[in-house]
């Protein structure tokens, strides 16, 4: 519980501006993730000095990584960012940078801990690289004609829903008209930040209860993706 609270505070309060408000604004090319990770590195140094136990440090790093992924995914899905297909290679590079930052050449989180946490963001980026027409076609074929070997995995279906739900083109709009009434589509499939966190405001205070709920949603989706 303590590690979860610290993780939420570090990402969504202390580093809210570089990791949430200004990341990829006004464009991906102008505001990459590397600068935010330098600030995160400094913040981690201060936090770790107060936690000498190695096992506790690993748990804390894991929670901070999970929250960082939650913020990253929410920024990717923010309709105000208006990300383009041509941005995906840079976004994938930043994703790898984030993963490598927390792996730290074997000195950070182990690969078997990183992979399940990072999988939803990887699937999301994969879906973002496809056209809305392709995503809609994949959605139509999601049940595989009732055959288990061709049925779309839930985590991949989640990624399709999120990308189609965040786009403004005509294909995505038609998809929402047809499917958005379904409770399974309306229900959030991974953590999406409160709109107050994704827009500039004179008040930098964000309710910690709201952030905690969003981070918990991401944790639930990660658990489901690995089962």
Give, for all 227 residues of the chain, the pLDDT tens digit.
788 999 999 999 999 999 999 999 999 999 999 999 999 999 988 888 877 788 888 999 999 999 999 999 999 999 888 788 899 999 999 999 999 999 999 989 999 999 999 999 999 999 999 999 999 999 988 876 555 556 788 999 999 999 998 898 999 999 998 887 665 554 433 334 343 344 444 444 444 444 444 554 455 554 444 44
Contact of 220 with 154, CB cutoff 8 Å: no
Residue 143: CB partners within 8 Å, gap ≥ 6? 151, 152
Q: Please calculate the CA angle 181-157-213 and round it to the nearest 5 degrees.
A: 75
Range of the domain at 67: 2-225
Counting the structural domains of the chain, the total is 1
What single DSSP character describes residue 13? I
């Amino acid at each position: 519980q303590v590690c979860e609270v610290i993780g939420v505070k570090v990402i969504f309060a202390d580093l809210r501006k570089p990791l949430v408000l200004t990341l990829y604004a006004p464009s991906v090319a102008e505001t990459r993730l590397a600068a935010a990770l330098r600030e995160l590195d400094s913040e981690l140094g201060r936090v770790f000095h107060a936690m000498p136990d190695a096992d506790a440090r690993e748990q804390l790093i894991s929670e901070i990584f999970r929250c960082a992924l939650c913020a990253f995914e929410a920024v990717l899905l923010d309709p105000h960012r208006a990300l383009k297909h041509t941005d995906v290679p840079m976004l994938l590079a930043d994703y790898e940078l984030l993963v490598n930052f927390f792996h730290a050449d074997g000195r950070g989180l182990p690969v078997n801990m990183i992979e399940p946490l990072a999988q939803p963001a990887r699937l999301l980026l994969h879906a973002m690289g496809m056209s809305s027409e392709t995503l809609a076609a994949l959605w139509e074929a999601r049940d595989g004609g009732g055959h288990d070997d061709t049925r779309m995995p839930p985590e991949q279906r989640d990624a399709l829903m999120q990308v189609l739900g965040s786009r403004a083109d005509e294909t995505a709009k038609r998809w929402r008209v047809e499917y958005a009434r379904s409770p399974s589509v309306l229900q959030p499939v991974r953590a999406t930040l409160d709109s107050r966190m994704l827009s500039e405001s004179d008040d930098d205070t964000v309710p910690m209860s709201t952030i905690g709920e969003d981070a918990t949603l991401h944790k639930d989706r990660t658990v489901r993706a690995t089962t």
